[in-house]
């Protein structure tokens, strides 16, 4: 018996049309010359020698990895004072953020985030047929009051990157507590701390404490940034037993590779490298920010940042497109963000000391400032 079907080929759900494939930043100039990437927020110091040594160790490629990443979860718990049973590891933090949204949202539901947030957030909503809702920012950064005002009876998840990407702004722990206190108890607050290791250590534990005390808070971290393991795709989340159970049900069964687990485990044991990365970032970020502030009379400015990049605004005679081209000619790739509603801005990753010097010189020359 032939069953009549309305479509001539497999047809996606209508909300999938809202998803666009990821467009990576350019790694070559218009002439084909390789560029130094200051566009992906990678660690300019590379990776911990301990992690590199672990990656160099042979392993049996035919064997599956530990599906529960037990040793890695225990090491994460030891470093951060957490319960390993309340940690899930994933293929980068992105997989786990997707699991959280997938568990709680579907058609008719809403996912709230700040207007200028991680570009993945609206895609997470679209993937499950939910509607992304953008709270208006305050000076480009997230506003607690505006996030709370955006919450409706259809809101199931609020996503907050802190520090923020692509702006770099940071909400103090007291503001996170205020945000959580204003949410209904059945709305999940996800505090995405991909850049958390770059923040003053005095502010690095409060989100974990909030997650430990409540059943509607999930905190995510990644090994891609300060730990310098972006290619290994390792992230993790912590939250209540209820939330961890939901994420575990939806994550991939063997999601973190053997090499990823080994490298992340070794990297956790080298906190000196993380501290060096944080200190280098703070020094070079301040140097770049000070130089940009000196170009204020040319309409060039930078948003305050606690991450490993600056969002630089071009609101005078020099445009973001001109700066993008000049930096490319100088050998550097940075991120232009018109697709995120920031056509007059470039996100510039903090690179090596040499890279910072070159970026400053290029921007000064573009603005007609003599050396």
The H or E element spanning position 45 is none
Give the model's pLDDT for residue 33: 77
Give the model's pLDDT for residue 4: 76
Q: Do 171 and 191 meet the contact criterion of CB atoms below 8 Å apart?
A: no
- CA torsion 281-284-287-288 (nearest 10°) is -90
CATH 3.40.640.10 domain span(s) along the chain = 49-269
Q: Do 237 and 194 meet the contact criterion of CB atoms below 8 Å apart?
A: no
CA–CA distance, 280 with 352 (Å, rounded to integer): 8
Top-level class of domain 49-269: alpha beta
Length of the chain in residues, anyone? 371
CA–CA distance, 138 with 140 (Å, rounded to integer): 5
CA–CA distance, 230 with 46 (Å, rounded to integer): 10
Q: Measuring CA to CA, which residue among 99, 141, 142, 89 is closest to residue 124?
A: 99
Q: Quote the strand ranges of 265-358, DSSP E.
A: 300-302, 309-314, 332-333, 335-337, 342-349
Provide the β-strand partners of residue 92: 234
Provide the β-strand partners of residue 138: 141
Buried b (16+ CB within 10 A) or exposed e, 177-212: bebbebbeeebbbbbbbbbbbbbeeebbebbbebbb
Q: Report the predicted TM-score, pTM, of the whole model to 2 decimal places.
A: 0.93
Task: Please provide the CATH number assigned to the domain covering 25-46+272-366.
Answer: 3.90.1150.10
Buried b (16+ CB within 10 A) or exposed e, 279-318: ebbeebbebbbebbeebeebebbbbebbbbbbbbbbeeeb
Q: Do 235 and 222 meet the contact criterion of CB atoms below 8 Å apart?
A: yes
The H or E element spanning position 259 is helix 258-268
CA–CA distance, 308 with 150 (Å, rounded to integer): 29
Q: Give the CA radius of gyration of the chain.
A: 21
pLDDT by residue (tens digit) across 340-366? 999 999 999 999 999 999 999 999 999
pLDDT below 50 — which residues of the chain? none
**Which DSSP symbol is given to 219?**
E
Give the model's pLDDT for residue 31: 66
Give the model's pLDDT for residue 238: 98
Give the model's pLDDT for residue 196: 97
The sheet with strand 155-161 has its strands ordered as 87-91, 234-239, 217-222, 188-192, 155-161, 110-114, 131-135
Q: Quote the strand ranges of 115-164, DSSP E.
A: 131-135, 155-161
CATH 3.90.1150.10 domain span(s) along the chain = 25-46+272-366
């Amino acid at each position: 018996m032939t069953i009549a079907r309305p479509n001539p080929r497999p047809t996606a759900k209508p909300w999938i049309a809202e998803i666009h494939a990821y467009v990576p930043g350019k790694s070559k100039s218009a002439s084909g010359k390789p560029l130094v990437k200051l566009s992906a927020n990678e660690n300019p110091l590379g990776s911990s020698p301990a992690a590199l040594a672990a990656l160099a160790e042979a392993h049996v490629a035919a064997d599956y990895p530990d599906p529960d990443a037990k040793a890695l979860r225990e090491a994460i718990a030891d470093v951060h004072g957490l319960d390993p049973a309340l940690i899930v590891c994933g293929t980068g933090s992105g997989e786990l953020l997707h699991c959280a949204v997938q568990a709680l949202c579907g058609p008719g539901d809403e996912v709230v985030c700040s207007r200028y947030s991680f570009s993945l957030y609206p895609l997470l909503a679209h993937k499950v047929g939910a509607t992304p809702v953008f709270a208006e920012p305050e000076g480009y950064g997230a506003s607690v009051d505006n996030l709370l005002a955006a919450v409706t009876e259809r809101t199931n998840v609020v996503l907050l990157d802190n520090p923020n990407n692509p702006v770099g702004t940071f909400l103090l722990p007291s503001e996170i507590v205020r945000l959580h206190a204003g949410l209904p108890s059945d709305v999940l607050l996800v505090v995405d701390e991909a850049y958390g290791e770059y923040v003053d250590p005095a502010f690095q534990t409060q989100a974990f404490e909030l997650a430990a005390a409540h059943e509607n808070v999930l905190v995510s971290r990644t090994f891609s940034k300060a730990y310098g393991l972006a290619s290994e795709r390792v992230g993790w989340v912590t939250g209540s037993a209820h939330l961890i159970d939901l994420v575990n049900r939806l994550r991939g069964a063997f999601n973190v590779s053997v090499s990823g687990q080994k490298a992340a485990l070794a990297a956790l044991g080298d906190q000196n490298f993380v501290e060096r990365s944080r200190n280098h970032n703070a020094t070079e970020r301040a140097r770049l920010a000070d130089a940009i502030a000196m170009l204020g009379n040319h309409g060039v400015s930078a948003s305050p940042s606690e991450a490993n990049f600056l969002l630089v605004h071009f609101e005078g005679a020099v445009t973001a497109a001109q700066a993008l081209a000049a930096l490319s000619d100088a050998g550097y790739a940075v991120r232009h963000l018109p697709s995120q509603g920031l056509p007059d801005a470039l996100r510039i990753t903090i690179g090596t000391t040499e890279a910072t010097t070159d970026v400053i010189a290029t921007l000064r020359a573009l603005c007609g400032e003599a050396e």
